[in-house]
A and B are shown apart, each in its own frame.
Chain A
């Protein structure tokens, strides 16, 4: 499979924050969620892809073109929704659309109209006069219809009401049906990640912890409620224990261990994604 974007060995220092080395490959048909604490470098990573921040080291390619090279044709291959936009306040939705749509050869005007209707966006009102939630919706309605192979979304649903979130997730899933597109998004909403993401790219304090396929990640953690005595020694992959509950990140080895040591459990239940992400991010801190 060919790739839409690639970051290899990229590093960037901003004041006392160091990001990288970052390695990531984005393939068509996939949705990747960037996950990490505040200040872990998620937004900076998106800016590197957009050439809005220059890496100190490493290469960044979109559609096989280096983003800091002289050939800027990659710019029509990617659309970016930042958390905050600058310079839009004085313009209405309609005017902004007139600015943006000619820049993208595959602009889908009917999708724009559909999103404006779906989100109830007043297109004649100045951007600056809209509420945070409506600004976010308009921003997205001006991003997704660009129909670029790669879409970068920075916290797309953070200010949205519950029904709009659902509509937006449904819309993105339909939009992805094409199969040749990819989305990279940051989100602190685990519902967004559960419904949309195929891969999780986990960052902590600027360091890449890893890329995980969502279902594989969820399947690799298990919590057990033990019957009777708790094992004296740590079990394989043990991450935490309290009362009768044990959490492991290697269930198979743990169960083999239980059998060898005549230990029994009353139930084994997977963790939800929020717990797994918390464990991934705290587990590392302690090391």
Chain B
């Protein structure tokens, strides 16, 4: 299985450590550069990144200046910055950034937005693997031990969301919003019903954990 690679360009070591930890726990591979010059050097050496998370205020070359280099290599950029003025946002998004996230950010939101950008740019992994379950995204099929598991579309979306963000706890509300969409007005009980169906069909004990009072998460390790 090939994981998505994310380049983090961030001068503050505390934040870059936080980001690296979160992305690696959620199943991404990360690289980190503390400033613009190093990021360029790294790009020249190995440009195979699926996404770049870039701070704007960087020593040396700032985030806006780095943007063209990433675009040149077709790497989508998400700005992650403390600058929350409208001008910077406009400049960032007009310059071709895929998203603009203001610090302080919510980790879960960051993960979901990164995934959305990856999906939009067609860089998501084609095959997701959790334990012995394989998800083929192109054909929207799920296999376990050589047998296909037949899932309804919503069950499938739910599984993909959880599998993309392994070890991340989603609240029922969040799941409802991400899978059913913003316009869906329903009860969180719906989520419980679908999770129950999914568990039954997959038949892997302990794969989807219920986190009391919060929601659900998919755990890679048993």
> Do they bind each other?
no
